[in-house]
Structure 1
Amino acid sequence: MKVLQINSVCGVGSTGRIATDIHKILVEQGHDSYIAYGRGDAVNCENAIRIGSKLDNYYHVAKTRILDRHGFASRKATEEFIKKVKMLDPDVIHLHNLHGYYIDIELLFKYLKEANKKVVWTLHDCWTFTGHCSHFEFVGCERWKYQCYNCPQKNQYPKSIGLDNSTKNYDDKKKIFTGVKDLTIVTPSEWLANLVNDSFLKDYPVKVINNGIDTEIFKPRKSHFKSKLGIEEEYVYLGVAGNWNDRKGFNYFIEMAQKLNENEVIVLVGVTNAQKSQLPRNIIGITHTNDVYELAKLYSCADVFVNPTLEDTFPTTNLEALACGTPVVTFDTGGSGESLTSGTGIVVKSKDTMDLIYNVRKAHGISSQYCLQTARKNYNKVEKFMGYLRHYGLFFSEHKQLK
């Protein structure tokens, strides 16, 4: 079987790594696999197809900034790409993020409806069924259920400093994205699946395949981190993010720091140098690390992983922490709490700092071994992503071979 995945990036970022993980499984099982991508360089894929160029990306950005028409540019790049797809003639087309300044959704879906291919579409956020934004929980907006207008997040990704075209975008997406004969939507969380079922995509079958992680990398590892910093006797509360901001819960760590005891310390990974210089004395800041083994060591030495995110689909940081034997405490936002049970972590009422602190301390008693066992059983990425082969029509025969 021949499978073509389409995503904004290839082999980098969370969605790019998911695409290459699926690609690796397909190749190992003897299938032809290709990834088409729109930005940056391709990593870990020998059959990568670039859609357009940097110049096409810049033009798409400009159209988004001025006209708020994200997804409605890159026409020439998309036309050339569709010619390549017709020559490739894949059996399955697997869509991931179509936002990201690289493809014209109208042209792409015109082809999909005419080609009558099997289509699997993994939604990693909410952009597909809104008139502008990729997430709306932070601002409490529900206009996407009926028709977007006067977008409260026009200045958020994909940012527009000009027009507000959220109503037209919504109407056009509804027309473009509906009506594909053989399309299955996949979401990483029940939370997002429920939103899809409340959207204009509700007539499509929706399946949930959780994100997975590499449990050979993320596992308990010996670390001298605490001794190096002289905090061997302290309880360590760890936070990890690629970009710390209000939506990721940065301010809740600042509030926590004001109320912690002398034997408690926070470690934040992913802060900028500017943020690091302004942290209180009981927060240790670490700038972004690309070393996954170092990150696993940090998870391993923490007593509790704290994730006060205010909008998230199904964060892999929770899974990584569990796989390293570290319990998790998170807000009840998005799908963040779905990976936790009473034996692996605690889900806390959103925006309640005192409840967060109380439950972080309560989590000290959670079994590290049970966290580890749960992650290995439920979130091994090979086992999780083999689930996609079911929707490609490959699951049963290939699942036997894998075992």
Structure 2
Amino acid sequence: MVKSVSKFTPAERSWMIYDWANSSFSLIVVTAVLPLWLETVGQNISISTAQTTSWWSYANSFSTLIVAVCAPILGSLADFRGWKKPAWLVSTLLGFVTTLLLAAVPADGFWMLLFLFVLANIGFSIANIYYDSFITDVTTSERMPKVSSWGFALGYVGGVVPFVIFYALRGFMSSQQGVMFAFILAGLWWGVFSLPMLFKVRQKHFLPVPQHPIKQSFKRLVSTLKHLSQYPKIVGFLIAYFFYIDGVNTIITEASLFATSIGIDMTQLLTILLFVQLVAFPASIIFGQLSKIFGTRQMILTGIFIYSIISTMSIFITQAWGFWLMAFLIGSAQGGIQALSRSYFGQIIPKEYSGEFFGFYNIFGKFSAVLGPLVFGSVAAATGQVQLGAASLLFFFVLGGWIFVKYA
């Protein structure tokens, strides 16, 4: 792997390593540790599991909404010369510092944990807007699919490695010490491996700084919205992306519920989670390589097709082996479709407006996280079968794929 990564330029490598860096937050903090620790802390102050689940959902939704609303103007500001790197740095600092501070919260600090998580998640998400938009600065349009795919691939490994370290060492600590260690490890991992991005990546495409940057950013944003018809391919892609990435994200977020509904216990579920990450690492790279042969558009459609199969086969899954097969298919397409969507968008947008357009990209990705879970939950509740809830997501892939073929 080291030999393969060495083939990239220093700027490309440094950019990709940031995916390795911040994945510690998404896997350790958001997925594995903080939700369970919140449940324990909530019980310490007489907050029920159901209430904890609700507040956790509210915190996720609130931080997502804040980022989605602010994304276009924040991205627009970053397009000015010399603004993108400081904006990325501030949001990254906000993210990993508040992650570290989670370790200092006592075992009855339920509300402080939620508050720090909201700040950390906002920092994580905003930093990703700038990180994504930097792809136009670190590489050429021809190399974007490969670079983006390797970024996602390293991200999967960058999440697994600190998680395995945490999992191996937590047996030597008390439950609370293990949680504190997880937060410290995730924060330090994120901060330390962000350094290459800080020192090696530079903003190459930019606009001159006007006399009133904030006022000008709002004007430019309004102008872009008024003249979106000038960018039919970009608009078509964003609408298609809204639907198919909604299906992708919903399958990811609802997979645990699906697993428990067919009798998979927490230990096996954790193993499957690691399995998905390990499959996604080479699959992301393979998607990037195949895009050079078949084209980025065709490989995005391949990812949509694989997810359509996943949604369809979910109707028939009632045993663990079926879920393992589903997990393999998810891992095979998850990183590829996300990486190539990012690189394809980077190829079709004006490079000097990358921050602004990736702000829109972020909005469509964030707001797409609302409709899919709503449909999934409604169908599952109405039918009493989680399998049919998962199958209902086929609609998002068919519609997204059709719009992508016709308009993107």
Which bin holds the TM-score, normalised by the shorter protein?
under 0.3
More strand by share: 1
| Larger Rg belongs to | 1
Bigger proportion of residues as helix: 2
Between the two structures, name the one with larger relative contact order (CA 8 Å, sep ≥ 6): 2
Instruction: Please report the TM-score for the alignment, with normalisation by the length of structure 1.
Output: 0.25
